[in-house]
Amino acid sequence: MSKKQDILPDDESLKREFPLLHSISKENPFSVPESYFDSLPSEILEKCHTVGNGSKSFPTKAEAILTTLLSYKWRLLTVAGCAAIICIFVPRLNNRPVSYEAMVQTIPDSLIVKQLDNNIADINVSTLEELQEPGLFAKSKSDSANTDQIIAYLIDNNVSVSEIENEP
Amino acid sequence: MEGEINDSELLEMFRVESTRNHAFHILVTKYQKRVYWQVRRIIIDHDDANDVVQNVFLKVWKNLGSFKEASSLYTWLYRIATNESLTFLKQKRANMYVPFDSVSRSLSRKLEDDAYFSGDAIQKKLQKAILTLPEKQRIVFNMKYYDNIKYEAMSEMLDTSVGALKASYHHAVKKIEAFLKNN
């Protein structure tokens, strides 16, 4: 027998040299769903018409990568959107005044004075005399300074306007 | 009868718009099983094989009009089926970001709980042995062992010399025998 023929495992040589392989049935061990081949031609033809020329039914590697990136893109956009919302609202929260002093600072003095004039017409002098700052009610250089001090006192000591009004 | 139309007539029918669909339907019906099983033995999983087969015939639909008949229609189909199967495995490997061996192991695991594997334990072992072969060697083995395709035809389909195919098949058989003996 020539060397070339030795390379060819025909049935007899297969049986002799490779007994285990030869002993196994060549019957197809795979199966398909029922009626698979009956419907396959129609399915394929429909796909050919749906996809048309020049496009592909299944993604190529580039399209698969692009699809993956796009899926991550939406996640990133979601995260970016949340971050943007946080960035928009957190500064506003931070800008809210946290104390009465800070709140009062934002209100014009004229408005406070007007409000006080309307609400505390008969302010009790003795109460005011308890102020630790001397000369509080002495004629000051400017009315706005006295007003500021009155306001500051009222706020600091949480003085109720109604209490003042009700004092004898 | 559809089965009596030869490939040349099919091609003629396909080139005419009014008979294209009918010709293609006949072509798919005629070759679907051979193409499917060629793919299935490489891809293992039925659903994946179905996808690849549909891709194969989609390519055929797009390119049949320009098929120059340098080879037989079946040879051309087989070549497309082989290339599409190898491309599928390459994509699978790329998506897994793991080396070749893991794809083989993944396919081997699919055999364990595959609803469309009806072979016995020894046949399953044989399939696992085949999966240990390099992809192209696996294709050569399947074509020769199961389909008994002549080396000359195989050479045309795989664009490989007859001598290389014979050597490849011989090595494949030896490896499989060793696997069966050791497992």
CATH number at residue B63: 1.10.1740.10
B117 forms beta bridges with A30
Q: How many CB atoms lie within 10 A of CB B179?
A: 19
Predicted confidence at residue B76, as pLDDT, reads 93
Classified as helix, coil or strand, B19 is helix
Same domain, B10 and B45: yes
Res A7: pLDDT: 45
Number of domains in chain B: 2
User: Which CATH number does the domain housing residue B136 bear?
Assistant: 1.10.10.10
- Please give the structure tokens belonging to residue A142: 């400017």
* Same domain assignment for residues B127 and B55: no
Residue A113 lies in a domain: yes
Residues B28 and B95 in one domain: yes
B-chain residues within 8 Å CB-CB of A30?
37, 40-41, 46, 116-119
Per the domain annotation, does B177 fall within a domain?
yes
Q: Which two tokens stand for residue A136?
A: 């509080």
Instruction: Assign A139 a pLDDT band (cuts: 50, 70, 90).
Output: very low
Position with higher pLDDT, B106 vs A2: B106
A30: which strand partners? B117
Give me the pLDDT at residue A75, please: 72
**B28/A contact by beta carbon, under 8 A:** yes
B86 and B140 belong to one structural domain: no
Q: Is the pLDDT of residue A20 over 60?
A: yes
Of the residues B99, B134, B162, the one at which a domain ends: B99
pLDDT at A98 (0 to 100): 57
3-state secondary structure chain A: CCHHHHHCCCHHHHHHHCHHHHHCCCCCCECCCCCHHHHHHHHHHHHHHHHCCCCCCCCCHHHHHHHHHHHHHHHHHHHHHHHHHHHHHHHHHHHCCCCHHHHHHCCCHHHHHHHHHHHCCCCCHHHHHCCCCCCCCCCCCCHHHHHHHHHHHHHHCCCCHHHHHHCC
pLDDT-derived band at B46 (thresholds 50, 70, 90) equals: very high
Q: Domain count of chain A?
A: 1
In terms of residue numbers, what domain contains A121?
100-166
- Indicate the pLDDT class of residue A163, thresholds 50, 70 and 90: low
Say whether pLDDT at A8 is over 60: no
The C-alpha atoms of residue A135 and residue A146 are separated, in whole angstroms, by 10
Which residue in B55, B120, B173 is closest to A57 by CB distance? B55
Q: Same domain, yes or no, for B79 and B6? A: yes
Tell me, yes or no, whether A80 lies in a domain. Answer: no
Is B56 in the same domain as B142? Answer: no
- Its domain, for residue B146, covers 119-183
Q: What is the mean pLDDT of residues B57-62?
A: 95
pLDDT tens by residue, B146-173: 989 999 999 999 999 999 999 999 999 9
Between CA B14 and CA B4 the distance in angstroms is 16
Based on the domain organization, do B74 and B124 belong to the same domain?
no
pTM exceeds cut of 0.80: no
Amino acid, single-letter form, for residue B179: F
Q: Are A27 and B124 an interchain contact pair (Cβ–Cβ within 8 Å)?
A: no
Indicate if B81 and B11 belong to the same structural domain.
yes
The reply to whether B126 and B95 lie within a common domain is no
| pLDDT tens sequence across B17-42 | 999 999 999 999 999 999 999 999 99
Q: Are residues B46 and B91 in the same domain?
A: yes
Chain A with chain B: Cβ pairs closer than 8 A: 100
pLDDT digit string, tens, across residues B71-118: 889 999 999 999 999 999 988 887 776 555 578 888 888 888 888 998
A20 touches chain B (CB under 8 A): yes
Gap between the terminal Cα atoms of chain B? 49
Nearest CB to A58 within list B51, B62, B116: B51
